[in-house]
Amino acid sequence: MSKTAKFTEMTKGTAEDYVPIVEAAMVHTSELPQRILEHLEMLKGDHGGFAVDRYTHCLQTATRAYRDGRDEEYVVCALLHDIGDILAPANHADFAATLLEPYISEKNFWILKHHGIFQGYYFFHFLGLDRDMRDKYKDHEYWRDCAEFCAKYDQNSFDPKYDTLPIETFIPMLERVLSQTKKSIYKAE
């Protein structure tokens, strides 16, 4: 049996107790890319009414960003932008942003977090909503970046005939992006 902490309440823990916890966390962290890929695969077969399934949509979005010369972090964000569709359909953009927040720039985080409302520009008016809802962020420094993400990579990635790159193209990028945190999630508010 592997070594475990002896405490049953964190207030009674010692530095020694946290050694196996930290070791386990390091293993858990190293396995994150594989867990994310497994979750992404849950999008296979889920068309949600679109011409391609959500998995293919994510691959197409990443393929377009990759072929446009975007950096690896941006491509990984494109790949995972809709990963929350299964578990967080009402706030899938927040899900993706939160998942990647420690590993990505502030700009890419903002794009992920807001892409849902920006994508609405293309269809909200068909649902009786304001297609310009995104304009409440018009003065934000990343507004144009998010609008560009949706226009160039997201809204047009539902094409069954598009030459989509396979997931294997993106796995090394995902592993590299997730190999180093850019910021701590533990910060004073």
Please state the rounded mean pLDDT for residues 90-112: 97
In this structure, is the dihedral angle defined by the CA atoms of residues 173, 180, 141 and 118, taken in order, positive or negative? positive
Q: Within 10 Å of residue 58's Cβ, how many Cβ atoms?
A: 26
Mean pLDDT of the 146-168 span: 98
Does 107 have pLDDT greater than 90? yes
Cα distance from N-terminal residue to C-terminal residue, the chain? 40
How far apart CA 177 and CA 171 sit, in angstroms, is 10
Q: Are 111 and 149 in contact (CB under 8 A)?
A: yes
Once rounded to an integer, what is the mean pLDDT over residues 126-132?
97
Give me the amino acid identity at 135.
Answer: D
Q: Is the pLDDT of residue 130 over 50?
A: yes
CA distance 3 to 46: 42
| Percent of the chain whose predicted confidence (pLDDT) is above 70 | 96
pLDDT at res. 1: 41
Say what the pTM is.
0.92
What's the sign of the alpha-carbon dihedral 154, 156, 161, 165?
negative
Radius of gyration over every alpha carbon of the chain, rounded to an integer in angstroms = 19
Domains of the chain: 32-177 (1.10.3210.10)
pLDDT of residue 82: 97
11-31 pLDDT tens trace: 999 999 888 888 888 888 889
Write out pLDDT tens, residues 115-126: 999 999 999 999
